Amino acid sequence: MNNIIGREKEIHRLKRVLEEQEAQLVIVYGRRRVGKTYLVNEFFDYKFDFKFTGSYNHKKSEQLQNYILEFNRYTKEEHDTPKDWTEAFFLLRDYLEQKDPGEKQVVFFDEMPWMDNQGSGFLSAFEWFWNSWGSTRKNLVFIVCGSATSWLIDKIDRNKGGLFNRRTCRLYIEPWNLYDTEQYLISRDIYWSRYDITVCYMIMGGIPYYLKLLDRELTLNENIDLMFFRNRSELWDEFDQLYRTLFSNSDKYIKIVEALSKKKKGLSRAEISAATKIPENGTLTKMLTNLIDSGFVRVNDTFGYKNYEKTFQLSDYYTLFYFRFIKDNYGKDEHMWSNTNDNPARQVWQGLTYEQVCKDHIPQIKKKLGISGIMSTVSSWYKKGSDTEDGAQIDMLIDRRDHVISLCEDKFSTHEYEITKDYDASLKNKVAVFRNSTKTKKTIQVILITTYGLKKNSYSNYVGKVILMDDLFEKNDD
């Protein structure tokens, strides 16, 4: 367990699971490649009473054959392949009943959604197993895991049938933040500047699988070329694999994320429907929910509006990077990333993606502002301009219980950021439009979140607080 980076809350919760004196049904889910299996394996030191991993797109007969091979290895006996999943769970039940009832018994079913293919009868068999026997075993810890988050949520967590309210613990494994990412790189003897680590984070997010492919002997630019742009690179087919193994009708999901990738501020449900030609009905709602639950899309509340004004924003860093740089450039230039170091398009992308990084580090921002213990909500705000009125867009507002609204401006720069006369006028106009449109009586505090600080000049005093890139690397105390 010493090898686990971060995950303190999850480790604490799993320890509590082992202390419980009743049967535990634990759900572990999250984005593919985020380290779910690794966490469970390391926490339990790979010591399970039984572990089985489903196989993607395999038939029921093939799954059961794999199951019995694993089962025979654990039992050190020879059993015939079960004819169905009910028989498979009977075998598991008999095996566990023969073990010491005074010891905790841990069973781990990884990639469980892949076991439940059409006509397999898997879910009904598992329901029977858990309701008739598993839930009565005070020493049993049954862990189910998978990347197909929508299946785990619908079939186990929010099951309205035989498994209703049976889940005792739910762990959503999030990508690492900047602090954990830095700690992981150091553990791999990769000692990059925090600027380079942040750029790396903009490309890969805190996804352990991607980060472990980094070569410590190469620069960041060389690594990105090697991983994404070299012909037949290790991640050359990652995008298709990522979406096709997670979602049925993956083409429609790809249409949604591609439409979202083109709009910085996100799209409303109606705008997504118009862009993708997917009818604005329950099917679209379900697909958006699945993307949110899987960690690919975030919902942005709009300051001062009800639920129907919410926007959906693509939040998965790799997907954003794919549509911006990989999709149309793969195989054309194996040194594409190194050769575009000063490309204006890359600078624009860094500026936009830094806003996403800031949104993913709200606890660190609130800590620096000294408001960790103050109730607050985070939202965005947009007003379209007209012939008679100026418009304005604010990507991040922190509306605080202490009657202050922190208006956050995110600027990614290679040096101290300098406020020009034009930017000063734009910023003051933005605040004025916001105040006049919302009629807020609260104090508006302008916050600048930038890399290396603010250069002092005649315009810099309008900024109330400066947060540095280093502040985003603070450990989350929550």
225-258 tens-digit pLDDT: 999 998 888 898 899 999 999 998 899 999 999 9
Percent over 70 (pLDDT), the chain: 98
Domain membership flag for residue 478: no
Please tell me the distance from the alpha carbon of residue 378 to that of residue 375, in angstroms, as a whole number.
Answer: 10
Please tell me the distance from the alpha carbon of residue 414 to that of residue 322, in angstroms, as a whole number.
Answer: 24
Helices (H), 76-118: 85-97
Least confident of 289-293, 301-305, 385-389: 385-389
Domain membership flag for residue 1: no
Domain membership flag for residue 429: yes
> Is the model more confident about 130 or about 305?
130
Instruction: Name the nearest CA neighbour of 281 among 270, 291, 290.
Output: 270
Q: Are residues 338 and 224 in the same domain?
A: yes
Domain membership flag for residue 399: yes
Q: Are residues 159 and 26 in the same domain?
A: yes
Predicted confidence (pLDDT) per residue in 166-209, tens digit? 999 999 999 999 999 999 999 999 999 999 999 999 999 999 99
Residue 419: which CATH number?
A: 3.40.1350.10
Q: Are residues 211 and 345 in the same domain?
A: yes
In this predicted structure, the answer to whether residue 309 has a pLDDT above a threshold of 80 is no
Question: Which of 300, 323, 346 is the last residue in one of the domains?
Answer: 323
Q: Are residues 282 and 315 in the same domain?
A: yes
Domain membership flag for residue 376: yes
Please tell me the distance from the alpha carbon of residue 275 to that of residue 264, in angstroms, as a whole number.
Answer: 15
Q: Are residues 201 and 148 in the same domain?
A: no
Please tell me the distance from the alpha carbon of residue 115 to that of residue 472, in angstroms, as a whole number.
Answer: 40
Contact 48, 107 (CB under 8 A): yes
Question: Which of 125, 146, 172 is the last residue in one of the domains?
Answer: 172
Range of the domain at 340: 178-236+330-354
Mean pLDDT of the chain: 94
Q: What is the pLDDT of residue 1?
A: 66
Q: Are residues 284 and 231 in the same domain?
A: no
In this predicted structure, the answer to whether residue 303 has a pLDDT above a threshold of 80 is yes
Domain membership flag for residue 37: yes
Q: Are residues 136 and 193 in the same domain?
A: no
Q: Are residues 349 and 207 in the same domain?
A: yes
Please tell me the distance from the alpha carbon of residue 123 to that of residue 260, in angstroms, as a whole number.
Answer: 34
Domain membership flag for residue 88: yes
Q: Please state, as a whole number, how many other Cβ atoms lie within 10 Å of the Cβ of residue 215.
A: 12
Contact 214, 188 (CB under 8 A): yes
Q: What is the mean predicted confidence (pLDDT) over 320-338?
A: 88
Residue 61: which CATH number?
A: 3.40.50.300
Please tell me the distance from the alpha carbon of residue 193 to that of residue 146, in angstroms, as a whole number.
Answer: 34
Q: What is the mean predicted confidence (pLDDT) over 115-141?
A: 96
Q: Are residues 165 and 253 in the same domain?
A: no
Q: Are residues 150 and 37 in the same domain?
A: yes
Tally the domains of the chain: 4
Domain membership flag for residue 2: no
Residue type, 150: S
Q: Are residues 255 and 396 in the same domain?
A: no
Q: What is the pLDDT of residue 96?
A: 98
Q: Are residues 232 and 257 in the same domain?
A: no
Q: What is the pLDDT of residue 206?
A: 97
In this predicted structure, the answer to whether residue 478 has a pLDDT above a threshold of 70 is no
Instruction: Name the nearest CA neighbour of 411 among 448, 363, 366, 367.
Output: 448
Q: What is the pLDDT of residue 308?
A: 58
